């Protein structure tokens, strides 16, 4: 085996949590397979620092790549893959991992398993396990061509312990041109973590009854526990929350360690977006609400009574 | 301008899925639909045609007997002019790259220079085929688009990225766009249009007609061990008055679940 290559994403030079998460998982797989872990970095970021997470070598295409284009990213990665010739590629199932990664897979004429939540080494190969049909079904995926490419849902694996040591950095040149130009970037109004990467999420549903209640009950609860705000489609359609906050099949797929659902019934399309959350808390006054079948902890009560008290209790922690 | 749409007929979101006892396969019961994101793609293609003129053609890889009535009722009846159905025994078990290769060839053969896809299919949830088509054709691509406009040979698209960030990007045709919810509001088919759709041309192509061999679409991805989602240990309902349950929840989150 010539190793596992992690495509490490960064935001203006700061590596995303997914980068170290994937290097940690790759190290575990590499130990089982008797191979090495390297990383790929496109753009200006402190590549050598990935050594602390467990990457031996880092292949870097330098230069300003902050203006993202799928074609340019895929060909920069392609140049790195040609230099590193890995057997396995791991990347985050982020926007870029859903946009540029399949394009890379087409350029490499190989196969890809999308959004896996588990990875294991078996018989000298890496096998991924992934949800399909919005999480109603799970299956193993194995790639018969090389490199085997997997995108991984963020927060699927623990962060590696912080090590020390610098990775050896190999500079790779890539000549491809971007096919699109970024005209404008519109920042979101909120400053909390993105839903898809958030460790904690507080979501509100139709039961909130108004945007004002949503703002006065759900947002303070989320703020008190450092969570990102989510919403059901019913809440979004009614205008209580914005579409970018929708969790579910036609919204975001999330994977936090803590998901609090207040006044959400737990429709299959909502569950599709959050069922892999590690701990689910449901607050609903209907004891028959399907969300309770999926909750780690359930509170059968009026959310307008529970949430303000819970906000206070979190603030006092 | 010639505008293409890639649309997949899939199981509806409320379909029941039952994995076989050995996990080697699964069955679904429920109805089939054109994927919901593909419907945004259809609407955008029709609106673009209404503004700028041109021809619209929908491409699908699938068995004609499974997909034709949905394509007529949900795509041709909304104003798309023609359907190209790629069907071949070698595509029966195709993976995303095999499907993308077939679609890319069909798109090329039709001389299309603007393609709309859904952001994802709701059965395999792969999010692979559109970017693969763009890669194979060497086209520009913009994913998860919530606003789109074309002017002559240039386009502008707004994409919804991670973290609630939106970006406006521009470029030149040819381009492949994937549709995010919010791009538009799909129209409903009216009866006269449904009747008219019955007479619209549908063409069937096999791999040979596209100049592809069976090897070119041989799958590299194998899927096995189908199963239901991992059961979570059944939850705990916390009993008591409101103050008690709130205090107990916080204790459990800290001491039992260790997430605070
Ligand atoms: C193709 C398709 C895609 C979809 N995609 C999504 C998606 O991405 N995300 C999504 O969320 N949905 C999606 N849906 C919609 C989904 O089917 C449900 O309609 C939706 O999730 C319901 O939202 P809700 O739970 O907020 O509302 P409801 O189902 O109305 O539930 C409200 C809940 O609040 C409880 N309640 C009321 N008052 C109180 C109170 N004072 N205190 C405590 N509890 C209270 C009620 O008991 C009830 O259980 C989709 C549907 C379709 C057909
Ligand atoms: N068999 C197919 N026929 C036509 N279009 C498809 C097919 N499979 C996928 N697509 C297109 O690619 C998008 C993403 O699909 P997927 O990569 O499977 O998630 C879909 O929304 C369709 O636009």
Nearest CA in chain B to A244: B164
- In this structure, the answer to whether residues B63 and B180 fall within a common structural domain is yes
Q: Tell me the CATH number at B179.
A: 3.40.50.620
pLDDT digits (tens, 9 = 90+) for B39-51: 999 999 999 999 9
Residue A180 is assigned to a structural domain of this protein: no
Q: Same domain, yes or no, for B246 and B152?
A: no
Residue B227 belongs to a domain: no
Domain that holds residue A234: 200-316
A129 part of a folded domain: yes
Domain membership of residue B223 (yes or no) is no
Interval A59-106: pLDDT, tens: 999 998 989 999 999 999 999 999 999 999 999 999 999 999 999 999
Residue B199 to chain A, least CA–CA distance (Å): 33
Q: Could you tell me which of B132, B94, B133 has the C-alpha nearest to residue A104?
A: B132
Q: Which of residues 188-217 of B touch A (CB under 8 A)?
A: none
Region of A3 (left: φ > 0; alpha: ψ -120 to 50; beta: rest) is: left
Which of A8, A19, A105, A24 shows the shortest CA–CA distance to A65?
Answer: A8
- Note the pTM of the prediction, 2 decimals: 0.87
Domain identity same for A37 and A165: yes
What angle do the packed helices B96-110 and B129-137 form, to 10 degrees?
Answer: 50
Note down pLDDT in tens along chain B; length 260 residues: 999 999 999 988 778 888 999 999 898 888 999 999 999 999 999 999 999 999 999 999 999 999 999 999 999 999 999 999 999 999 999 999 999 999 999 999 999 999 999 999 999 999 999 999 999 999 999 999 999 999 999 999 999 999 889 999 999 999 999 999 889 999 999 999 999 999 999 999 999 999 999 999 999 999 999 998 877 767 889 999 999 999 999 999 998 888 98
Verify that A233 and A159 share a domain, yes or no.
no
- pLDDT, residue A193, reads 76
CB B15, CB B33: distance < 8 Å = no
ipTM of the complex: 0.88
Shared domain for A81 and A132, answered yes or no, is: yes
Instruction: Determine contact, residues B34/B82, Cβ cutoff 8 Å.
Output: no
Domain shared by A137 and A72, yes or no: yes
**CA A37 – CA A34 distance, rounded (Å):** 10
Q: β-strand B82-86 against B114-118: which pairing, if any? A: unpaired
Measuring from each residue's beta carbon to the nearest atom of ligand 2, which residues come in under 6 Å? Answer: B 6-8, 35, 37-38, 41, 59-62, 96, 99, 103, 117-118, 120-121, 124, 126-130
Q: What is the pLDDT of residue A83?
A: 96
Burial category of A238 from C-beta neighbours within 10 Å (exposed 0-12, middle 13-18, buried 19 and up): middle
Cβ distance of B250 and A140 shorter than 8 Å: no
Same domain flag for A300 and A239: yes
Q: Choose one of A264, A292, A300, A302 to mutate for the ligand 1 pocket test, by most ligand atoms within 8 angstroms of C-beta.
A: A264
Q: Does A182 map to a domain? A: no
User: Nearest CA to CA, how far is A76 from chain B (Å)?
Assistant: 13
What pLDDT, on a 0 to 100 scale, did the predictor assign at position A100?
A: 98
Q: What CATH number does residue A132 fall under?
A: 3.40.50.620
Q: Domain total for chain A?
A: 2
- Do residue A137 and residue A248 come from a single domain? no
B126 and B237 fall within a common domain: no
Q: B138-172, pLDDT tens digit by residue? A: 999 999 999 999 999 999 999 999 988 999 999 99
Residue A157 to residue B155: CA distance in whole angstroms? 40
Residues B257 and B189 in one domain: no
* Phi-psi domain of A244 (left: phi exceeds 0; alpha: psi -120 through 50; beta: other): alpha
For residue A273, pLDDT beyond 70: yes
Q: Which domain holds residue B63?
A: 2-217
CA distance A59 to chain B (A): 23
**Within-domain flag for B225:** no
- Give yes or no: residues B73 and B159 share one domain: yes
Do A250 and A146 share a domain, yes or no? no
Q: Are residues B198 and B247 in the same domain?
A: no
| CATH code of the domain in which A234 resides | 3.40.50.1220
Query: Residue B233, SS3?
Result: coil
B interface test, pick of A19, A100, A103 with most B CB neighbours within 10 Å: A103
Indicate if A159 and A206 belong to the same structural domain: no
> Is A179 inside any structural domain?
no
Residues B186 and B239 in one domain: no
DSSP helix/strand/coil, B230: coil
Residue A156 lies in a domain: yes
Is A33 among the domain residues? yes
Same domain assignment for residues A152 and A10: yes
Put simply, whether B125 touches A (Cβ < 8 Å) is: yes
A309 to chain B: which residues are within 8 Å by CB?
242-243, 246
Interface of B with A in 13-32 (CB under 8 A): 13-15, 17, 19, 26
Q: Would B224 be classed as within a structural domain?
A: no
Q: Report if residue A190 sits inside a domain.
A: no
- Is A192 within a domain? no
């Amino acid at each position: 085996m010539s190793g596992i290559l992690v495509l490490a994403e960064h935001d203006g030079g700061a590596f995303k949590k997914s980068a170290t998460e994937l290097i940690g998982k790759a190290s575990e797989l590499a130990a089982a397979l008797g191979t090495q872990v390297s990383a790929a970095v496109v753009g200006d970021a402190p590549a050598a620092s990935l050594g602390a997470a467990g990457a031996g070598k880092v292949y870097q295409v330098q230069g300003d790549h902050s203006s993202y284009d799928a074609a340019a990213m895929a060909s920069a990665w392609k140049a790195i893959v040609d230099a590193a010739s890995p057997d396995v590629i791991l990347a985050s199932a982020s926007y870029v991992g859903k946009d540029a990664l399949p394009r890379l897979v087409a350029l490499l004429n190989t196969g890809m398993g999308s959004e896996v939540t588990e990875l294991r080494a078996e018989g000298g190969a890496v096998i991924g396990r992934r949800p399909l049909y919005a999480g109603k079904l799970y299956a193993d995926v194995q790639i018969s061509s090389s490199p085997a490419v997997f995108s991984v849902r963020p927060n699927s694996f623990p962060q590696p312990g912080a090590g020390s040591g610098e990775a050896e950095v190999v500079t790779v040149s890539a000549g491809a041109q971007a096919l699109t130009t970024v005209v404008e970037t519109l920042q979101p109004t909120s400053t909390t973590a993105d839903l898809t990467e958030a460790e904690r999420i507080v979501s509100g549903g139709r039961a909130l009854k108004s945007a004002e209640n949503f703002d006065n009950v759900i947002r303070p609860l989320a703020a008190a526990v450092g969570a990102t705000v989510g919403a059901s489609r019913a809440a979004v359609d009614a205008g209580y929350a914005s579409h970018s906050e929708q969790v579910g099949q036609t919204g975001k797929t999330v994977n936090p360690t803590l998901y609090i659902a207040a006044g959400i019934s737990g429709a299959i399309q909502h569950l599709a977006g959050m069922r892999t959350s590690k701990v689910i808390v449901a607050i609903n006054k209907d004891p028959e609400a399907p969300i309770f079948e999926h909750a780690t902890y359930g509170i059968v009560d009026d959310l307008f009574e529970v949430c303000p008290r819970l906000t206070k209790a979190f603030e006092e922690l | 301008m010639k505008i293409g749409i890639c649309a997949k007929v899939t199981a509806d979101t409320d379909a029941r899925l039952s994995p076989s006892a050995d996990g080697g396969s699964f069955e679904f019961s429920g109805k089939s639909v054109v994927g919901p994101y593909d419907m945004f793609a259809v609407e955008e293609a029709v609106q673009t045609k209404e503004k700028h003129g041109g021809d619209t053609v929908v491409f699908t890889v699938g068995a004609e007997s499974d997909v034709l009535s949905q394509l007529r009722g949900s795509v041709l009846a909304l104003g798309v002019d023609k359907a190209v159905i790629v069907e071949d025994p070698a595509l029966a078990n195709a993976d995303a790259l095999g499907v993308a290769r077939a679609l890319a060839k069909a798109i090329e053969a039709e001389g299309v220079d603007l393609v709309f896809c859904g952001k994802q299919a709701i059965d395999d949830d792969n999010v692979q085929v559109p970017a693969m088509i763009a890669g194979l054709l060497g086209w520009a691509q913009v994913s998860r688009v919530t606003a789109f406009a074309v002017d002559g040979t240039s386009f502008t698209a707004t994409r919804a990225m991670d973290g609630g960030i939106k970006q406006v990007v521009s470029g030149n045709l040819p381009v492949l766009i994937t549709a995010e919810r919010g791009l538009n509001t799909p129209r409903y088919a009216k009866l006269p249009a449904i009747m008219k759709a019955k007479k619209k041309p549908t063409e069937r192509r096999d791999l040979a007609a596209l100049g592809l061999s069976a090897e070119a679409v041989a799958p590299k991805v194998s899927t096995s061990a189908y199963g239901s989602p991992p059961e979570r240990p059944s939850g705990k309902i916390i009993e008591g008055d409101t103050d008690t349950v709130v205090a107990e929840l916080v204790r459990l989150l800290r001491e039992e679940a260790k997430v605070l």
